[in-house]
Amino acid sequence: MDSLHERAEAAEAAEDLQLAFELWKELAEREDGSNSLLRYGSLAKRLEKWDEAEIAFSEALRRSPGSTLILECIGDLWARRADKDTPESFEIAKQWFQKALENGRSARLLNRLGATYRALGDITKARDAFEQAIELDPRYEEALYNLALIEEEVDAQKTVELLERAIEIDSDYGLAHHELGGVYEGLKDLTRAEYHFRRSIEIDPGD
């Protein structure tokens, strides 16, 4: 069993997703706990095997009722799956994230809930969720970035402040550099715009 675990871990570390998927699926079928099911479901999600991921996470939740991590995984699945009606999927994702939050607030969960509200067009609730995430973890760069995207249309200076904070936390945050370049371009600060666009390309040459 240990050897199979090691092979599954090694395949996933090497980004051999199909092999890792098959190995975690085999482990999930052999074991009684929920960990291997979570790993199997996560690989199924990455491979866009949506129904298999849903089945794996549902069985994991049956084995570990009320698990915050499993509830979050199911929410993330519905937020990402491309085989269902998009607004309906985000509504379902929202419900799972809200259920997970009943077990306790975390910056990561609030950030995911905020992204779901934004996808549903509820900007007020999205902003509130991102602000709560940042209140819990002021150095959560992804929440800072997401809040900046919302503020961009109404407050350019606040957007700059949020993105600069995100980059201060993670200097290689390519998306933040790219977005900040666009904001500075809109503010006619072309020197700073060029700097951040160049940084985004250095971080991701395909940008």
Mean of pLDDT values over 108-133: 97
Model confidence pLDDT, tens digit, residues 12-67: 999 999 999 999 999 999 988 899 999 999 999 999 999 999 999 999 999 999 99
What Cα–Cα distance (Å) separates residue 170 from each residue in 109, 143, 145? 20, 13, 11
Check whether 1 has a pLDDT greater than 70.
Answer: no
pLDDT > 70? residue 200: yes
User: pTM to 2 decimals?
Assistant: 0.89
Q: What is the mean pLDDT of residues 169-195?
A: 95
Q: Please report how many Cα atoms fall inside a 13 Å half-sphere around the Cα of residue 128, on the Cβ side.
A: 5
Rounded-to-integer distance, Cα 115 and Cα 121, Å = 10
What pLDDT, on the 0 to 100 scale, is given for residue 2? Answer: 65
**Residue 95: its pLDDT value, please?**
97
